[in-house]
């Protein structure tokens, strides 16, 4: 298992032009979280939810990885098998920077999921809830995204990775969303050293042994190189 476990959040993609959620101009100041990021919101107004994710998919396709994504990919190449990225992000900028060991705990914009039979497939750029599922044919297509109240992906493997890490690093996340918000505590309890890199102190800064504050595109290359 990887000795360095890295949790990333929206802050690492901010300098690639993708919005964060809770900053001053964040997505949750423009959209109502309950309407676009809950199963109840999707049941009530699937069209609105698809509009939200279609726009974000377009932005993500047009964005490029920044120096922080690239530095993490470099770290993996220099320490093969020793690094794991657990990302809350639904973009694919880590993969496009060259990272291979990446787990998307909140799903991916590139994925479609059938709400009727759980079949998954690659999402087209523009999706609609009336698109038929390629497996069962039901017109119940949703983005393959983990919404509030749903179980994040890879959780069993994540608990094992956290328990075996020597170093846990958090980059660009506000520490307001569970279960990711307790990962630093979980890793520390299992014996890992913990490092936070964020634009500013987060809700969970006190859980870390070490902290560096500033833009990820500067902090992460400094740390890696």
Which 196-215 positions form the footprint of ligand BJW (CB under 6 A)? 198-200, 202, 215
50 is an active site residue: no
Q: Which long-range contacts (CB under 8 A, 24 or more apart) does 218-223 make?
A: 218/67, 219/68, 219/171, 220/12, 220/67, 220/68, 220/71, 220/72, 220/171, 221/67, 221/68, 221/70, 221/71, 223/71, 223/169, 223/195, 223/197
Q: Determine, following the binding rule CB under 6 A, whether residue 90 of this chain makes contact with ligand BJW.
A: yes
Residue in 55, 178, 209, 222 binding ligand BJW, rule: CB under 6 A: 178
How many H helices and E strands in the chain? 10, 9
Neighbours of 162 (CB within 10 A): 24
Out of 69, 106, 129, 154, the active site residue is: 106
The mark string for 92-131 relative to ligand BJW (x by CB under 6 A, - otherwise) is: --------------x-------------------------
Which 9-68 positions form the footprint of ligand BJW (CB under 6 A)? 9-11, 14-15, 20-23, 26, 37
Give the residue nearest to ligand BJW (CB).
Answer: 11
Q: Give the catalytic positions in this structure.
A: 106
């Amino acid at each position: 298992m990887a000795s360095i476990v890295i949790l990333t959040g929206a802050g690492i993609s901010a300098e690639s032009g993708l919005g964060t959620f809770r900053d001053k101009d964040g997505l949750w100041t423009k959209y109502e979280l309950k309407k676009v990021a809950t199963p109840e919101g999707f049941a009530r107004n699937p069209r609105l939810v698809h509009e939200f994710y279609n726009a974000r998919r377009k932005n993500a396709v047009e964005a490029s990885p920044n120096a922080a994504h690239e530095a993490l990919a470099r770290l993996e190449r220099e320490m093969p098998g020793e690094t794991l990225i657990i990302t809350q992000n639904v973009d694919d900028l880590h993969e496009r920077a060259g990272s291979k060991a990446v787990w998307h705990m909140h799903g991916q914009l590139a994925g479609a999921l059938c709400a009727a039979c759980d079949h998954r497939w690659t999402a087209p750029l523009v999706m609609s809830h009336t698109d038929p599922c390629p497996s069962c044919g039901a017109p119940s297509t949703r983005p393959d995204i983990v919404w509030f109240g749903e179980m994040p992906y890879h959780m069993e493997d994540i608990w094992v990775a956290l328990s075996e890490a020597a170093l846990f690093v958090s980059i660009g996340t506000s520490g307001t969303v569970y279960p990711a918000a307790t990962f630093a505590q979980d890793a520390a309890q299992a014996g890992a050293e913990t490092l936070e890199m964020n634009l500013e102190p987060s809700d969970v800064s006190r859980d870390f042994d070490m902290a560096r504050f500033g833009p990820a595109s500067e902090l992460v290359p400094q740390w890696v190189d």
